[in-house]
Amino acid sequence: MPVSKICYNQPGSDISNSHSLENNPPFTLSSTQNKFASVGCDTLGIIQFQNNLKNGGCVTLCDLPPPGDLNDKTCSGTGCCQVDIPVGMRNLTVLASAVFNHSNVPAFNNCSCAFVAKQSWFNFSVDYLHDFPFDVVPLVLDWTVLDDTCQVAFITPDYACTSSTKCIDSTDGFGCNYKCKPGFDGNPSHSYGCHEMKCRLGRMPGIY
């Protein structure tokens, strides 16, 4: 997903943009594998979820000049902040803004950034305050076979579970998935895609 940035060439002058991710079911934004982050010394990062009418965000501030004790990989509000993604979010818009129009920090940090990224991918670096090197970032989407719960899917004509598969409700807010039962392996999303696992018995080397 593109990074949202607002850049101040001079105090009070800005070039801004926002980015949206719109996707229909069965995709949801993973609440366990993503984080919403803001980077900058005067940054108000905003995230909006259209389908759930929820808004959130976080604020980052820095001293002038940048604090010498600011450490890499520390994203706790000074130069970088991050918040969790709520469960069951789909369509979203990310917007980067500023609190004080960069009036105190344009010499060393003229851009504010906001984005949703895969949690294990993003590690904050102090260098990002001088130049944020990414225009796009990776994020994780969850998917389901159906947009209904297993209880609803069970009574539909195209219910695909067989004697070798079982239905599991999604933990991320919407839909359900199929899974092979213990002792079976294969693709549970296909009818009769789970096959019985076969074990080959034999002597272990060196054991008689």
Please give the Cα distance from 21 to 2 (Å, whole number). Answer: 9
In tens, the pLDDT along 36-64 reads: 999 998 999 999 887 656 688 999 988 75
Q: Tell me the CATH number for domain 4-142.
A: 2.60.120
Query: In angstroms, what CA-CA distances link 133 with 1, 116, 129?
Result: 14, 15, 10
Q: Mean pLDDT throughout 68-83?
A: 79
Q: Mean pLDDT throughout 28-41?
A: 91
Q: What is the predicted pLDDT for the residue at 117?
A: 95
Please give the Cα distance from 208 to 203 (Å, whole number). Answer: 7
The domain spans of the chain are 4-142, 150-196
pTM of the entire predicted model: 0.75
Q: What is the predicted pLDDT for the residue at 66?
A: 57
Q: What is the predicted pLDDT for the residue at 150?
A: 83
Higher pLDDT, 154 or 82: 82
> Residue 208: pLDDT band by 50, 70, 90 thresholds?
very low
Residue with structure tokens 């940048």?
A: 66
Pair 29, 141: CB distance under 8 Å: yes
Instruction: List, in order, residues 6 or more apart from 116 with CB less than 8 Å away.
Output: 1, 21, 29, 34, 35, 36, 37, 47, 85, 92, 94, 137, 139
In tens, the pLDDT along 130-173 reads: 889 999 999 998 887 777 788 887 777 766 677 788 888 877 76
Burial of residue 74 (number of CB atoms within 10 Å: 0-12, 13-18, 19+): middle
In tens, the pLDDT along 107-133 reads: 778 889 999 999 999 999 988 988 899
**Total length of the chain:** 208
Q: What is the predicted pLDDT for the residue at 162?
A: 73
Query: In angstroms, what CA-CA distances link 179 with 33, 113, 169, 196, 199?
Result: 21, 40, 11, 13, 20
Pair 70, 91: CB distance under 8 Å: no
